[in-house]
Amino acid sequence: MGTGSFKVGKYTLAPYSVLMELCSTELPENLNVCLESMLMQSYPPADFVIVCTQKLTNELRIIVKSFQNEFKGVFNIVTAGSETSIGQALNKGLEACRCEYVLRMDSDDISKENRCIKQMTLFAIKPKLDISGTFVEEFDSDTDEVISTKKVPVLNKDIVRYAKKRNPFNRQTVAFRKSAAEAVGGYADAEMFEDYDLIVKMLMSGCHGQNIPEALVRYRVDGNTIRQRRSLKRTKAFFGIRRRFMKYGFCKVTDVIPPCAVQGLLFVMPAGFTKWFYKMFLRS
């Protein structure tokens, strides 16, 4: 695994940890593909932290155990407890990460084989960089057909501006300095938007970010994805995170109204409208 020195041209890449939350509702086949995509990277992780807030099913435990046996010394399973919030659980996972650079991953997505080497090379080239991310390729979970590419701003000045309205990083592609994340208090109890909250706090503290303009992670989309995007739970959480950013002093009312209006529209309109809107205006 990626525990020793690894060079790309004249640059020596730092080792990195992977931080992933795992729920009992995850499909075993999706988890298997996800873990394989991260552990078979062209530059693999030195450390893989899986945070569990629920008791895993037998099928999920079998998959995790099989990877533990194959990649000995890499996996660290952190049990956070069912009463622990997602933010608290992620902080336990972050504390357990052994490397200064931490790459986030969702348990049902797929990283392309060069994702990690490209992000770690960017950190090596730009030693003052604190956060990196990539574009995302959305695909139909049933047919494997590519639906769209979720693009985000590339340069730091555009990232800061975009962050006032939407997350400037695709959550499942984020990589960051552990020390910089801990310096702003780590994750908070910001339901459904824990990663977005952390990014904003880091940007407010002066951290610099950059996105690689290439889709290096594949994101599953199915019927449930559309329902979640327009659900009451997400809409309430969406409004809540904007209020939080206003309290931080990061956003003004004029920054908050447009995205909240859009989310409100998605909530009241039919699911077909949400699907069309995301494809036409929020994706490419």
What count of residues does the chain have?
284
> How far is the C-alpha of 78 from the C-alpha of 89, rounded, in Å?
8
How high is the pLDDT of residue 241? 96
Provide the angle, in degrees to the nearest 10, between the axes of the packed helices 253-268 and 232-248: 180
pLDDT tier at 284 (50, 70, 90 boundaries)? very low
How high is the pLDDT of residue 131? 98
Q: What's the pTM value of the predicted model, to 2 decimals?
A: 0.92
pLDDT per residue as tens digits for the range 214-228: 999 999 988 777 778
Nearest to 100 by CA among 12, 42, 176, 44: 176
Which has the minimum average pLDDT: 26-30, 37-41, 198-202, 273-277? 273-277
Say whether pLDDT at 110 is over 90.
yes
pLDDT per residue as tens digits for the range 29-74: 999 999 999 999 999 999 999 999 889 999 999 999 999 999 999 9
Domain boundaries, the chain: 6-221, 223-284
Backbone angles phi, psi at 40, to 5 degrees: -105, 25
| 248: number of Cβ within 10 Å | 12
Say whether pLDDT at 101 is over 70.
yes
> How far is the C-alpha of 214 from the C-alpha of 188, rounded, in Å?
29
6-221: what fold?
A: Spore Coat Polysaccharide Biosynthesis Protein SpsA; Chain A (3.90.550)
Nearest to 151 by CA among 214, 109, 220: 214
Nearest to 102 by CA among 91, 86, 87: 91
How high is the pLDDT of residue 33? 97
Nearest to 90 by CA among 189, 17, 5: 189
